[in-house]
Structure 1
């Protein structure tokens, strides 16, 4: 019996490894699903998921809400990337966003571009 369960688990694990799972649902992504953007990869490495989700407000606003409020342009990319590195409060409520001073400006810009690209 234990062997059958073990074989079933291995088979199930093998089948799951061939699935086409993507971390962002297609209706929320403006980028190609087969390869994540640099901004998305940076978000996964940082602590962003503690306070932000793609489509739900957690502590801070959802990425979709940010993208809806700020259209994609150079001014907003600069504004969002500065918010990421310097932090701030008052725009989305009283809870402040912590500063991410160790993040390179170029990386913050990639994150900002990714977030703003979610608005279709």
Structure 2
């Protein structure tokens, strides 16, 4: 009985810690998006110039190749998917940071 209780408590602690790490990762990715001016054109839940990040997440939900395509789009820019206003290239954003931002965007619900 005591072992079961201890294992349950340990499992709960691990779940809480993983949730905290996830929240920390989300905050770090949002900070990267702010530092790289992504939020000048994209709102989390509303369209500004470009689509809302939640709309991007919804559009690409379940698309296994979306992450790599969107990282490339962050770096090179693009147009036509969300309308005629082009997204400018962002060569100053490292591949690693673009990946973190895209992972965060795709995780939004």
TM-score (norm 1): 0.67
The residue that corresponds to 1:75 in the other structure is 65
Residue 64 of structure 1: how far off its partner (Å): 0.4
Instruction: Kindly report the root-mean-square deviation, in angstroms, between the aligned alpha carbons of the 2 structures.
Output: 1.5
Residue 40 of structure 1: how far off its partner (Å): 1.4
The residue that corresponds to 1:107 in the other structure is 97
The residue that corresponds to 2:12 in the other structure is none
The residue that corresponds to 1:9 in the other structure is none
The residue that corresponds to 1:45 in the other structure is 35
Residue 74 of structure 1: how far off its partner (Å): 4.6
Total equivalences in the alignment: 87
Q: What CA deviation, in whole Å up to 9, does each residue of 1:18-57 have, x standing for no partner?
A: xxxxxxxxxxxxx42xx35332121011111111001111
1:14-29 matched pairs, under 5 angstroms: none
Contact map agreement 1:72 1:113 (CA 8 A) in 2: no
Whole-Å separation in 1 of the counterparts to 2:36 and 2:45: 18
Whole-Å separation in 1 of the counterparts to 2:49 and 2:91: 20
- Runs of 4+ in structure 1 off by over 6 angstroms are none
TM-score (norm 2): 0.73
Q: Which runs of 5+ in 1 are unaligned?
A: 1-30
